[in-house]
Structures are given as structure tokens and as C-alpha cells.
Amino acid sequence: MAHASDGRSLEFRLPDLGEGLTEAEIVRWLVEVGDVVAVDQPVVEVETAKAMVEVPCPYGGVVTARFGEEGAELPVGAPLVTVAVGEVDGAEDAAADGPARGTGAAEAPAAKSPAAEKKAEGSGNVLVGYGTSEAPARRRRVRPDRPAATGVSGRANGRVRAAGPVDGPVRAAEPADGPVPVISPLVRRLARQHDLDLRELAGSGPDGLILRADVEYALRAAAAQGGRTADQEAGAIRVPDAASASSGAFSAPSAAPHPDGTRVPLKGVRGAVADKLSRSRREIPDATCWVDADATELMRARTAMNASGGPRISLVALLARICTAALARFPELNSTVDTEAREIVRLDRVHLGFAAQTDRGLVVPVVRDAHARDAEGLTAEFARLTEAARAGRLTPGDLTGGTFTLNNYGVFGVDGSTPIINHPEAAMLGVGRIVPKPWVHEGELAVRQVVQLSLTFDHRVCDGGTAGGFLRYVADCVEQPAVLLRTL
């Protein structure tokens, strides 16, 4: 009969899967209760606001309980599975014995002995939140036993956090004791600005950590009770999910709802885009300038490159190379603003994001160290990231850390746009479609390949002269690619 030789069950919680991600949706379970799993074996596939991720379990043993149905949304730090660790005598016995163990598997594990610590180490996968070997010692609060509740959704600050477990019990949430569990100074400042006592909130983060979302929801609830709208009170950027709305935890706006309308929850990629764009509009004083450019010579140069053999060079790679050259001349635009310190941080490396439309919505993959890549290297990396985006295989690391964004909205058949800056970056270059137009060339009217270029920039990091100089340099390189030879 399969069992953990030391009789311990370890609880594996949903780790932090990337910057700013506080929750994930279960897409597909990869294991069943009773299955034998190895260290670092993926146990569940989840979808975050940034990517689809297979989550590996750092423990080896028998799965004794799973938490959450497919389609359920879990906060970071919520239990995923419990695993009876130790030597497994047989997979068949494990399958037969696993469900019986599920009724008590979610209890907190006993203190580890030195031998047990040795057995538990060895995870080779790295996700933010747990590492590759022995975890550092940390103090954990000992919570009193609570009656197990099955099939009941957990709730924090008026929000439904996750559905009940499929095969195991759920441990009831308990308010944190001792110091207020807040890490972010932004959360403290938001609460202080609105006279909100953080000790009255139950955090939805790991170990009861109070997140910005918790404060925003509390402010929404207070505004609704006082007859004020959420935007007036906190400028909140999140919309409650359908379960919260149906439970009465969130009061609807004063406008009468349309009975024949369809409510679509702002979640996943769409929710992340809404949050980020709203924050950008709220925090960044942006401005846009634009110019038309004759791209005929750039198109001819690309044709000549591809006729010489070797890997084909993409147009977006040439535009990216022009961008990195322009940022070297105007480094103010490769920066970010530290609002807490009231400082502009100029960045030494260019991590170039590019907007890509997928079936899951708009995503912005990031080409790392774009300034150090040539046209061939940029072409290959754009192709890799684009294919990964279409297949839903982008990792959180592929979607974070950008310093400047290139937005080729010309693929949608439009000439111009005033895009919203990808917070916390300071600028975005927009490229419209390249179309034949009448153009005065060398003193004569001719039909040329014309493109509209636009630059949206954060007016805090530079003035219009710098932005105009950047855009003019980009236009000059598009019209006369030989200009780039000066910096190659």
C-alpha cells in the first residue's frame, strides 16, 4: 500500500507566477487524487493575466487532495494539492488508497525533522515563490484547527475568492494577528489617504497579506454604502466578478441595468489589460506627436537584404533596430518614473516590447537586450515570441520587464493612432500601414510608399523637443536607411 514513510502530508500552495499577479484560473488538472507524482512534475495548468503556465509540484509522493475545480480562480497562496511524501510502495495501491486520505490531507504539516528536510529538498524548477532546493527557514503562525468546510466558496472583503475543493476539504480563512500584514508602501498610502484601517481587512494574499486589490474593494464597498461611486472614492480599476455581484457584495451603479445585456467579467488577459491601461491613463501625463515618412527606401533595403540569401529579415525587426538606435541618441525615453522617490530612472538596457494580438487578447512580449541584437537576431526573436503568443505558451518572464514598446498597428489596416503607454514605461512608437501615396520626391510628384509614425511619451521624462528629435531621427532612418550606418 502506498504511503508516506514518515506519515506526513505536505500542502502545495499556488506560487507567485510573476510580477504583480495575484490570482490564476485553473484550466486543467494534470493529476488525480491517488496519483503518484515526482518532484517537479506538473500537477495543474493555470491561466494568469499574462500566460498559460503548467505548475510543477516541489514534492514527490501520493496526491491526497486537490483544491478547486477547473475554471475556478485561486489567489496566490491558496492550496492546490496535498501530497503524502515519502517512499511510495506501489502506484496501484496509491490510486486505490489516495481518495480515502483526502479527507484529512489539508491539515498543516508537522514540524520537519532533519531527515525529512533532506527528503523534501530537491525541486529543480524555479517559479517565483519557491526555489530549487531547501527553502529558507521562516516563521509561520500556528492556526487553531477549524471545522472543514467542503463545497463552500471562500470569501475575503466581500469577494468570492475560489470555488470549493474537488476532492479535499478547505481550511477556513482567519484574520492575521500581530502587525498589519502589508508589504507595499503603495497599499499603506492608499489606505491612509482614505482613512481606512488596515487591521479591519482580511488579506487575500499569501499568509493573509493585504494587497492593493483588497484595499480597493474595501473602498468600493464603503463608497457604495455611503451613496458614492467607486471612481469618486478610490479610482479603483478592478471590476467585481459575477459571483460577487450576484451575492450582493458589490452595489451596482445608479444607472438601471439593461435586462437584455450580457455581463462579461473583466478577468484574465482582458482584465489585466484594463487594469494596466487605466493605471497608465490615471498616472502618466502623456502627449503624442506624429509625422509622415517616405518608407520606399526602407522597403527596397529590406528587399535587397532578403535577396542576398540567409534568413529573411522582417520589417518589424528593421523598425526595432531603428528604435534602439534612436534610444541610444535620446536615452530619456528609455526610462521610468519612480513616483515614491520622485525620480526619473534612466535604464541602461533596452528591453523592447511589441504589441501582439492573439485569440486570448492583446499581449506585449518583450525582446530582451534588443539594443545588442542585429536585424537577424531581432527577426528570430520576434518570430519565436509571436509563435509562443499564438500558441499560448508565453511565460510571465516573456511578458514583463519591458522598457519601451513598438506598436505596429498598421497590420490592422489603419494609418495612425494615439496609443496608451504601457505602464511603467515612458514612451511607445506607433507605426501605421505602409501604402502608396502621392509624395514630392526630388522636386517631382511621385507615388511613394508612405507610413505615419507616432510617438506617445510621458511628459514627465522629457519635453517636446526631445520627443520630436527622437521621432524625426526615426523618420530619417526610415526614409534613408543609410543613416543607420553611422551607429553600426
Catalytic amino acids? 459, 463
Concatenated DSSP letters of 269-309: HHHHHHHHHHHHHHH--EEEEEEEEE-HHHHHHHHHHHHTS
The residue to which cell 492550496 is assigned: 79
Q: Considering only CA atoms, give the Rg of the chain.
A: 27
Q: Are 326 and 474 in contact (CB under 8 A)?
A: yes
Q: H helices within 392-488, ranges in order? A: 464-479
Q: Are 1 and 62 in contact (CB under 8 A)?
A: no
* Eight-class DSSP state of 58: S
3-state secondary structure 373-421: CCHHHHHHHHHHHHHHHHHCCCCHHHHCCCCEEEECHHHHCCCCCCCCC
Residue 32, φ and ψ in degrees, nearest 5:
-115, 160
Task: Give the three cell numbers for residue 291.
Answer: 509625422
Neighbours of 449 (CB within 10 A): 18
Instruction: Please work out, in degrees rounded to the nearest 5, the angle formed at the alpha carbon of residue 350 by the alpha carbons of 348 and 351.
Output: 130
